[in-house]
Structure 1
Amino acid sequence: IALLEHSKSLEVLHLFHTGIYGDIKVFQDLKSLRDVNLFRCANLTGDVSSFGANDQLVDLSLGLTNVEGDISVFKDMQGLLRLQLESSKVSGDVKVLLEMDSLR
């Protein structure tokens, strides 16, 4: 997954149910990403804060990965319409999601 680090204009990434591996920190500077589906990529690790500064993100699927971190990183992402984290290692108080108008 490290090869994606230089894909600055990448907007959509669907790699769900593949054998890719690596740390999701490669996404921290990819500000044009709008739709990311990494569902069931069990070999992915890292902290969800890697997506925290991306205000373009609309759809993020990290279910069934080994991604961790605090769910509060998403509280200021008002453009986020879909967030899938089931069976990941993300933790924290879900009430932060109630403050997100876009997820209502």
Structure 2
Amino acid sequence: MRYVIVYMRSRAFRNRVDAAIVEAQLNKMGIRLISAKEDFGEGPHAVAMEGMLDVMNHLMNTLQGLDIQEKMRTKAVKRRHARVRSHRLHQRPSRVRGQANQHDRAR
């Protein structure tokens, strides 16, 4: 095998460390990694562009993770408030000392 073709680097690697490790392993085996959508050519400029792209992919992945965490936290808080509100609506009214409420009188 001489080439590994990926659609985009962001689909193959989530951060620069993963990209560097895999590319080093492929280079040892004489295999070249090619991105179908992101062609930077060859040479030092191409390596620099791939590195910057990997760093930006890492940033985007981290930001998306933080966004998902915030959305999940917001959803959990909303559920908690809805559950507390629902619980309060379904509670029987408290008794006034010495008086029974309508529910107790019906029994």
Structure showing greater relative contact order (alpha-carbon pairs closer than 8 Å, 6 or more residues apart): 2
Q: TM-score, normalising length from structure 1?
A: 0.26
Which of these two proteins has the greater Rg computed from alpha carbons? 2
Higher helix share: 2
Greater share of residues in strand: 1
